[in-house]
Amino acid sequence: MKIVNSYIFRAVCALLIGLLLVSNPERMTGLLVQVIGGLFLISGLVSLINYFIISYSDKVPVKPVFPMVGLGSLLFGVFLGFFPGLFITYLMYIFGFLMVVAGINQLWNMFRLRRLIPFRWYVLFFTLLITALGVFVLFNPLESASVPFILLGVSFMLYGVSELINGVRWRKYSRMQQQKEQVLIEREDEEI
């Protein structure tokens, strides 16, 4: 019985996580950036604390160099923690710009080399799609950053539903096994 409850518990948790990710992907994007910022902050803080502990220790023959990377990590973590939207926006602008440039470059090369290398319609379609996605990302940076969380949320919901179905199937199987065992015990009792 505990196995069935485990299936159901996992299914409900996966469904809830999926609904949360799909219902509010923009917040989840910012939250993930804040978590990453927290990890940078902890890493930098540990580096600085170790530096000060070692610096004031008499047992160390050579004093360490100030950890600039640790300080940078700490400051970057603070920035990510307090300004996740700003970081996401700039990052998405960079990605969008790169996609537009890549699409335009592919189009330019296709038309320039069309006499030597004929291109198919689907190649042109994908190139135009890349360019259009780049333009979309440039004009909607936060919405495009949340698309992976929507896909992840849908995946969690599908997992939750399949886990729930497996839990129900397992419960039916367990009941059938218990009934078979009960019938065998009753037959043994009758034979005695």
Residue-wise pLDDT for 86-95, tens only, equals 888 888 888 8
pLDDT at 107 over 70: yes
pLDDT at 105 over 50: yes
Mean pLDDT of the chain: 81
Q: What's the mean pLDDT in 130-158? A: 80
The token pair that represents 175 in the structure block: 């009941």
Q: What's the mean pLDDT in 4-26? A: 76
* Domain spans of the chain, in order of start: 2-191
Lowest mean pLDDT among 33-37, 70-74, 146-150, 175-179: 146-150
- Provide CB contacts within 8 A for 156, sequence distance 6+: 14, 15, 17, 18, 21
pLDDT at 120 over 60: yes
